[in-house]
Amino acid sequence: MGLLDKPPPLLPFKQGAFTSRLRSEQVTTKIGIALAVCIAVCFLTGLWSHYQQHPLDWLTIPTAPVWLYRLSQGLHVATGIAAIPLLLLKLWAVYPRLFEWPPIKSASHAIERVFIAVLVAAMIFQLTTGLINISQWYPWTFPFTQTHFAMSFVILGALFIHLAVKAPKILAALQVGRSTSSEPNSPDFASEPNTETAAEAGLVTDIATGTDSDIDSNSARTSLSRRNFFIAAGASVGAVTITTVGQSVTPLEPIAAFAPRAPTTGPQGLPVNRTAVAAKITPTLVGSDYRLVVDGPSPLSLSIDDLQTMSQIDVDLPIACVEGWSANARWQGIRLADLLDQAGIDPEATIQVSSLETNGNYRTSVVAANFARDPLTVMALRVNDEELSLDHGYPIRLVAPNRPGVLQTKWINRIEVLA
C-alpha cells in the first residue's frame, strides 16, 4: 500500500471526522446556485458601472431612466454584500473535501483543484476589498478600480470552468432534490452518520445496518434539518442585506445599522465623498476672481454674479455614488445645453468639464452629446434650495441624469469641446 493510499491517523483525516449530514450535494448545489446568481448580478452591474465611467465608442449610455445607475450600483453593492455569507456557507458545506485522501488523484483532479483554489481566493479578495472600498478605506497601494475590474473576469472564468466540471453532479443533485426530500445523502458523505440526528431519532444502530423505519426516520430528520439550514441561510443573507441596503434604498435608512453611509447625512442633507479640503479647494479659488470659461466659437467667461443672474431651472435627480449610497435631491442652476448654445457649440459635440482641483482622479469628466443636451442636465448652483456648500462643489457643479457620482464634477471652471 502506497503512502497516499491510506490517510494519516489524525483528524480531520479519520473516517467519520465530518459528521454533519447537512454537507450534502443538495445543500452544496443550492447554496452554490444562490452564490452564482449574486456573482452574475455583481458582474453585470459592475460591468455597467465600469463602462459608464470608461465609455466605449460603440456603447451609448442612455440618460433615462434617471434612476438607472442608482438601481444598478445599489444592486451591485447589495448582492456583493449578500455574497459574503453565501460564500462562507458554501465553504462550510464543502470544506471536508479539502481533506480528501489522496489529495491528488489524477492530473485532471489536480487541475480542477487549482481552478477551485483560484476561484475561492479571487472571490475572497474581491469581496473583502469591495467591502473595504465601500467604507472608503484604502489600505493598499494598487489601483482599486482597475484591479476590481480585472479580478471580476478571473472569477467569471474560474466559475465557468468549475460549473462545467461539476455540471453532472449539479444536475443530479437538483434532480434528487425534486424527486424526494428523503433521498439518502451524497455518496461523498454517506459513510459519515450524523450522530446528533441519530440521537434525536432514537436510533441505536448505524444507518447502514439499521431497519427501514430507522432509515426513513433519519432521512426525515435530515430533510427537516436541511430545511432549517436553508431558513437560517436565507435569514443571514436577508439580515446583512436589510441592514445595509438602506444606503441606497432611502426608506430603509432607519434600519441600515451596518450601512457604511447614511444617504441623508452630510452637508445640506447629502453625504460628501471628497471634501473641499481633500481637493485643496480654498475660498480664495472661488472668490471674486473666479471665472467659468466655456470654450467655443463664441467663448464665455462668467463670474459667479453672471452665473447667478442667468436663467435657472429646477430638477429632481438622484446623486448615486460608486460606493453604493444614493439619495434624491433638488438641484437649481443653469441648463448645460443653454450654456453650450450661448458659446456656439455644435449640438452633436462631446464636451469635457474640468474642475479647479488638480490632484483628483476625476478632476475632468467627459460628457457625451446626449447627456450634455439632455434638458435635465444642469450646472447646479444650489441644492435643496440652498446655495452649494464648498464641499458640494461651490460655486458650480455638474449634475446629470443616470450618471455615477464620480462623474458629477464639482468646482467646475472650464467647459471645452473634445476633438
The band of 394, judged by pLDDT with boundaries at 50, 70 and 90, is very high
CB-facing half-sphere around the CA of 309: CA atoms within 13 A: 5
Report the pLDDT value the prediction gives residue 7, as an integer from 0 to 100.
66
Report the pLDDT value the prediction gives residue 182, as an integer from 0 to 100.
44
pLDDT, average across residues 40-45: 97
Q: What is the pLDDT of residues 52-102, one digit of tens each?
A: 999 888 889 999 999 999 999 999 999 999 999 999 999 998 888 887 777
Q: What is the pLDDT of residues 175-184, one digit of tens each?
A: 876 654 444 4
Considering the chain, what percentage of its residues have pLDDT values greater than 90?
A: 67
| Mean of the per-residue pLDDT values of the chain | 86
Most confident range (mean pLDDT) of 25-29, 135-139, 369-373 is: 369-373
Q: Which three cell numbers stand for residue 413?
A: 471652471
pLDDT, average across residues 23-48: 93
The band of 347, judged by pLDDT with boundaries at 50, 70 and 90, is very high
The band of 342, judged by pLDDT with boundaries at 50, 70 and 90, is very high
Report the pLDDT value the prediction gives residue 5, as an integer from 0 to 100.
61
pTM for this prediction: 0.85
Report the pLDDT value the prediction gives residue 180, as an integer from 0 to 100.
47
The band of 193, judged by pLDDT with boundaries at 50, 70 and 90, is very low
Taking the C-alpha atoms of residue 313 and residue 378, their distance in angstroms, rounded to an integer, is: 8
The band of 119, judged by pLDDT with boundaries at 50, 70 and 90, is very high
Q: Which residue has the higher pLDDT, 209 or 331?
A: 331
Report the pLDDT value the prediction gives residue 178, as an integer from 0 to 100.
66
- DSSP alpha helix (H) spans, 248-388: 276-279, 304-309, 336-342, 369-372
Alpha-carbon distance values, 276 to 379, 382, 394, 414 (Å): 18, 16, 9, 18
pLDDT, average across residues 99-125: 89
Report the pLDDT value the prediction gives residue 134, as an integer from 0 to 100.
92
CATH of domain 267-417: 3.90.420.10
Report the pLDDT value the prediction gives residue 99, as an integer from 0 to 100.
79
Q: What is the pLDDT of residues 278-309, one digit of tens each?
A: 999 999 999 999 999 999 999 999 999 999 99
Query: Strand, helix or coil at 128?
Result: helix
CB-facing half-sphere around the CA of 251: CA atoms within 13 A: 0
Taking the C-alpha atoms of residue 130 and residue 112, their distance in angstroms, rounded to an integer, is: 27
Q: Which residue has the higher pLDDT, 325 or 191?
A: 325
Closest CA to 90 of 120, 132, 125, 115: 120
pLDDT, average across residues 154-181: 83
Taking the C-alpha atoms of residue 340 and residue 368, their distance in angstroms, rounded to an integer, is: 13
Report the pLDDT value the prediction gives residue 388, as an integer from 0 to 100.
97
Is residue 398 within 8 A of residue 409, CB to CB? The reply is: yes
The band of 3, judged by pLDDT with boundaries at 50, 70 and 90, is low
Report the pLDDT value the prediction gives residue 22, as an integer from 0 to 100.
79
Least confident of 71-75, 220-224, 361-365, 397-401: 220-224
